[in-house]
């Protein structure tokens, strides 16, 4: 039996201890926020927070979790009442295909819980391990900046205006 604390709820599961945490979350606990991306801990779609740290859930066996609490996207809010970071991602339209977004939000959440007011460089360095194949990194960073109370980098508003003008002429 494996004991696992997920989103503040204690679970006892009769599963193989070598099962990746991601599979337990999705298949056994029916929490579908974390996604299977690469299965090798290289894309970040499966990112969850384990004891305050952003963790790739596809490569960590459930037996390695022990008593440390696990948090998934579902712990931050709901579709009807999104959490602060989720709301900022929606506002900035940070999702295109949406596949990476849960992992991006969880990685950002782990940073903001440790450091509510990081620098631009700290945000970029912290978010670097998670990939977005659609290229919405600028919107993702804008959402994180908003929650962290950071100003837009120099020239960002001019770039946003060009994108808006380009869309209007299509």
Query: Residue 13 and residue 2: Cα distance in Å, rounded?
Result: 5
What are the pLDDT digits (tens) for 86-110? 999 999 999 888 889 999 999 999 9
Arithmetic mean of pLDDT, 14-23: 97
Is 142 among the domain residues?
yes
Query: Residue 115 and residue 28: Cα distance in Å, rounded?
Result: 33
Report the run of H or E that residue 147 belongs to, with start and end. Answer: helix 137-148
More confident residue, 163 or 72: 72
Is 90 among the domain residues?
yes
Domain range for 57 is: 2-165
Is 123 among the domain residues?
yes
Is 170 among the domain residues?
no
- The CATH number of whichever domain residue 82 belongs to comes to 3.10.20.30
What are the pLDDT digits (tens) for 44-100? 999 999 999 999 999 999 999 999 999 999 999 998 999 999 999 999 999 888 889
Arithmetic mean of pLDDT, 155-168: 54
Cβ-based neighbour number of residue 7 at 10 Å: 18
């Amino acid at each position: 039996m494996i004991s696992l604390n997920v989103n503040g709820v204690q679970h006892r599961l009769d599963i193989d201890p070598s099962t990746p945490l991601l599979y337990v979350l999705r298949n056994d606990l029916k929490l579908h926020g974390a996604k299977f991306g690469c299965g090798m801990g290289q894309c970040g779609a499966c990112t969850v927070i384990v004891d305050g740290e952003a963790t790739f859930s596809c490569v960590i066996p459930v037996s390695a979790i022990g008593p440390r609490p696990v948090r998934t996207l579902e712990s931050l809010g709901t579709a009807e009442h999104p959490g602060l970071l989720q709301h900022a991602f929606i506002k900035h339209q940070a999702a295109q295909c949406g596949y990476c977004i849960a992992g991006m939000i969880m990685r950002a959440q782990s940073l903001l819980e440790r450091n509510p007011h990081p620098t631009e460089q700290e945000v970029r360095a912290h978010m670097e391990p998670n990939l977005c194949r659609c290229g919405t990194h600028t919107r993702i960073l804008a959402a994180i900046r908003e929650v962290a109370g950071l100003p837009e980098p120099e020239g960002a508003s001019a770039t946003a205006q060009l994108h808006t003008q380009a869309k209007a002429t299509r």
